[in-house]
Amino acid sequence: MSAVPVSIGVRMTGRSAVAVAGVAAHDTSGVAEPGSPLVDTHGRVHRDLRISLTDRCSLRCTYCMPEQGNEWLARSSILSLDEIERVARVAAAAGVTTFRLTGGEPLLRTDIVDVVRRLSEIRGPEGTPVELAMTTNGIRLPELLPGLVDAGLRRLNISLDTLRRDRFHELTRRDRLDDVIAGIAAAAASGLRPLKLNAVAMRDVNDDELADLVAFALANGAEMRFIEQMPLDAGHTWDRSRMVTRDEILHALSARWALTPVPGRGGAPAERWLLDGGPATVGVIASVTAPFCGDCDRLRLTADGQLRNCLFSTTEYDLLPIMRAVPGASADPSEATVDDDIDRMLRSCVHGKLPGHAINDPSFLQPARGMNAIGG
Ligand code: SAM
């Protein structure tokens, strides 16, 4: 345990409700000791850290961001490369084995190759290399991918909701389908596997293209994965009655392929099916109609240094006061003390994780942050 007062900050979502509190501000009894795995009170072991590198994006997908008037995170609050590496290193020491870089659009970060290189050099307690993956819109992949692979990137998920240019333009408010397709081609040629393409299934937007998207993924050596639309849009316009469900997706695909469930999902968000007996597969992430919270092993770090234990959480655990000198602090904490405090904050965040996200509960409250500021 650290000898200095531990800054365990619980920041309620909503910028005004920041409270950097002492340990007593929330119940941390039963928080596991440093060195032990990140196990929550429901027995889930946390192995996956989603790291959002920026809330900025080159697209404006309607289900994610507003076209205009987005409140960007303050540039001064965005974690530096050193700060990101530091949190990742402490997380790896606590048993995290996978880092997934996301955003916003992670490839907009000017130091992205350095981020990948520094994170890929991190080792777990037994010297095991971490697995480094990225979720991207693919637009900058043609220019950046060789450097990213050289730096240690191992897996890619690329978002593609439609193959039709007019729809893409309408949906993302940018005319960049050709750039995304070029990014997918670069990823396919790079040999990084498994390569996954993600589409949010939307009624009267792309639900007539589901099979075409699967065929496109197959032609590029990728797995198509459909995501049920979640209430994470900046405009808070999500409507359950309008969302395309897992069962509807499977029904549409079964008109073209025989679908056989793939067993052994573990903590993965996607349920997978073999297409016509395999080996090709398709995945569905049914966060709304078939939540998989019971096996969730994920934590999130936002670009502005907030730890979150769930996409839908309304509580954040603020790492900034730990990593940056607090005005008026009597003494600079040592490096080891800062790492200890980050470790304690990780454990506190895990300890506070609820059994499920409660989207289906009438009392569900959408988080104030849009998906681009949480990290998808
Ligand atoms: N810019 C990158 C990209 O396009 O993949 C990474 C960030 S994006 C927020 C990550 C993923 O979240 C994308 O696959 C996107 O489709 C998904 N996403 C965003 N908003 C969503 C929502 N409301 N419901 C379901 N998925 C969403």
Q: How far is CA 10 from the centre of its chain?
A: 21
Residue 33 confidence (pLDDT)? 73
For 85, 244, 367, the CA distances from 227, given in Å and listed in that order, are 30, 9, 19
What separation in Å is there between the alpha carbon of 224 and the centre of ligand 1? 14
Residue 13 confidence (pLDDT)? 35
For 4, 133, 201, 309, the CA distances from 204, given in Å and listed in that order, are 57, 32, 9, 33
For residues 45 and 95, the answer to whether their CB atoms sit within 8 Å is yes
Considering only residues 106 and 33, tell me which one the structure prediction assigns the higher pLDDT. 106
Q: What is the mean pLDDT of residues 159-170?
A: 98
How many residues are recorded in the chain? 376
For residues 302 and 50, the answer to whether their CB atoms sit within 8 Å is no
Which residue's C-alpha comes closest to atom 1 of ligand 1? 105
Given a cut of 90, is residue 9 above it in pLDDT?
Answer: no
Confidence of residue 28 (pLDDT cuts 50, 70, 90): low
Angle subtended by helix axes 81-93 and 112-120, to nearest 10: 20
Ligand 1, pocket residues at CB < 6 Å: 57, 63-64, 102-103, 105, 135-137, 159, 198, 200, 227, 229-230, 232-233, 371-372, 376
Residue 237 confidence (pLDDT)? 85
Q: What is the mean pLDDT of residues 221-230?
A: 97
CA of 372, closest atom in ligand 1: 9
pLDDT over 70 percentage in the chain: 90
Respond yes or no on whether the N-terminal peptide bond of residue 146 is cis (omega within 30° of 0).
no
The lowest-confidence range among 18-32, 63-77, 107-121 is 18-32
At 236, list the tokens: 């808070």
pLDDT over 90 percentage in the chain: 77
For residues 48 and 98, the answer to whether their CB atoms sit within 8 Å is yes
Question: How far apart, in whole angstroms, are the C-alpha atoms of residue 54 and residue 52?
Answer: 6
* Other beta carbons less than 10 A from residue 326's beta carbon: 13
Residue type, 374: I
Spell out the residues 6+ positions from residue 16 whose beta carbon is closer than 8 angstroms to its own.
Answer: none
Which residue's C-alpha comes closest to atom 13 of ligand 1? 159
Respond yes or no on whether the N-terminal peptide bond of residue 362 is cis (omega within 30° of 0).
no
For residues 367 and 314, the answer to whether their CB atoms sit within 8 Å is yes
What separation in Å is there between the alpha carbon of 310 and the centre of ligand 1? 15
* Strand 298-301 relative to strand 259-261, pairing: unpaired
Tell me which of 55, 101, 105, 135 to substitute to probe ligand 1's pocket, judged by most ligand atoms within 8 Å of the beta carbon: 135
Spell out the residues 6+ positions from residue 363 whose beta carbon is closer than 8 angstroms to its own.
Answer: none
Given a cut of 90, is residue 325 above it in pLDDT?
Answer: no
Predicted confidence (pLDDT) per residue in 56-94, tens digit: 999 999 999 998 888 899 999 999 999 999 999 999 999
Q: Which residues in 59-68 are b (16+ Cβ under 10 Å) and which e?
A: bbbbbbbbee
Predicted confidence (pLDDT) per residue in 235-247, tens digit: 888 888 889 999 9
Residue 333 confidence (pLDDT)? 73
Q: Over the chain, what is the mean pLDDT?
A: 90
At 308, list the tokens: 């979150």
Which residue's C-alpha comes closest to atom 19 of ligand 1? 64
At 362, list the tokens: 């009438």
